[in-house]
Amino acid sequence: MDPIKFHSTKFTSELVEENSFQAVPLGPHDVTLDFWQQKGDLRNGTIEVEMDIPDLDETEHIGLWIENGALVDYDGVYSLPKEVAAELEKLGITVTEDFKH
Give the per-residue pLDDT at 68: 96
- Label each residue of the chain as H, E or C: CCCEEEEEEEEEEEEEEECCCCEEEEEEEEEEEEEEEEEECCCCEEEEEEEEEHHHCEEEEEEEEEECCEEEEEECCCCCCHHHHHHHHHCCCECCHHHCC
Domain that holds residue 26: 4-99
pLDDT per position as a tens digit, 9-37? 999 999 998 888 999 999 999 999 999 99
Reported as a single tens digit per residue, the pLDDT across 39-84 is: 888 899 999 999 999 999 999 999 999 999 999 999 999 889 999 9
Q: How many domains does the chain have?
A: 1
